[in-house]
Amino acid sequence: MENGVLKEGFLVKRGHIVHNWKARWFILRQNTLVYYKLEGGRRVTPPKGRILLDGCTITCPCLEYENRPLLIKLKTQTSTEYFLEACSREERDAWAFEITGAIHAGQPGKVQQLHSLRNSFKLPPHISLHRIVDKMHDSSTGIRSSPNMEQGSTYKKTFLGSSLVDWLISNSFTASRLEAVTLASMLMEENFLRPVGVRSMGAIRSGDLAEQFLDDSTALYTFAESYKKKINPKEEISLSTVELSGTVVKQGYLAKQGHKRKNWKVRRFVLRKDPAFLHYYDPSKEENRPVGGFSLRGSLVSALEDNGVPTGVKGNVQGNLFKVITKDDTHYYIQASSKAERAEWIEAIKKLT
């Protein structure tokens, strides 16, 4: 913890007046969460805004935006709501953990409870959430959806929270009901399932880092079909589906210099292997499609000099820069948020070139 900083990095924030989404640099301290605008790879001072954490409530996961499943919602004492999006579930949970710790800093029992949550169930690497959902949909061995009633209302194609927990255990995805609840929460966080009715929706709204899924015979859930939505043919871009079929190795927010205007913008980078590709996404857009990408086969990656502005870099942008040169000699200039992060990206990319 340097200068009282608990955590810092990029998050994508929803605007207050116009509900657009923009990447901001956030710095978390014991009582405040401050955010900055970025121009030319540098933080613009003074801060763009400040969130006072005293009396704040946090909701994580926040499922209010169907196309943004990696959200955290903060509600201040004055009922101002902030929506913040991370680049991955792990990064979102790390932010939520640190923010919750800052909010409850004066309550040792609450902080201890958070530390125990950190050691919760982890999905085995050979099992993907997509595989579990596919098996749940299986007509013979999957989970059975049917009409269910709650408080006088009938909900079609739903299943009970306790039934899903039973199913996960019987199919050997988990060894205990506690693990099954955690796995079901992960499925809900990643937008594969959604709550239906008063009981399960109430658990979501209760917020904080407690489990959001209810192992209960009165809580109803259904499949969230959004992950199966097809892209409109008019919106399709020239990307082979093979490019995006690889296993995700690393992802995170990085700043990138544009090819034409040479301006710097924050992008969510996703590194995949088998096949090896590096794609980047515009975090301000709702659609989860890359705005660019390239094959890493035959590429070169290297760190750039930290003293002064390196050749090829426009503007007074310096520090934590690296360059990727593709097989067809296209140069990509990218900036990480720290030397450590730059080293991690370079090492991960080198393994795939």
> What string of H, E and C letters represents the secondary structure of 254-290?
EEEECCCCCCEEEEEEEEEECCCEEEEECCCCCCCCC
Please check whether residue 124 lies inside any domain of the structure: no
Q: pLDDT by residue (tens digit) across 90-105?
A: 898 889 989 998 888 7
Q: Which of 98, 119, 140 is the last residue of a domain?
A: 119
The kind and range of the H/E element at 305 are none
Residues 11 and 114 placed together within one structural domain of the fold:
yes
Q: Which pLDDT does position 26 carry in this prediction?
A: 96
Residues 222 and 307 placed together within one structural domain of the fold:
no
Q: pLDDT by residue (tens digit) across 16-73?
A: 878 899 999 999 998 899 999 987 667 788 899 999 998 899 988 787 887 787 889 9
List CB contacts of 28: < 8 A, sequence separation 6 or more. Answer: 5, 6, 7, 8, 95, 98, 99, 102
How is residue 135 written in tokens?
Answer: 């098996």
Residue ranges making up the domain that contains 89: 5-119
Percentage of residues of the chain with pLDDT beyond 70 = 86
Alpha-carbon torsion (216, 222, 224, 228), positive or negative: positive
Q: Which pLDDT does position 229 carry in this prediction?
A: 36
User: What's the predicted TM-score (pTM) here?
Assistant: 0.65
Of 122 and 199, the structure prediction assigns the larger pLDDT to 199
CATH number of the domain where residue 308 is located? 2.30.29.30
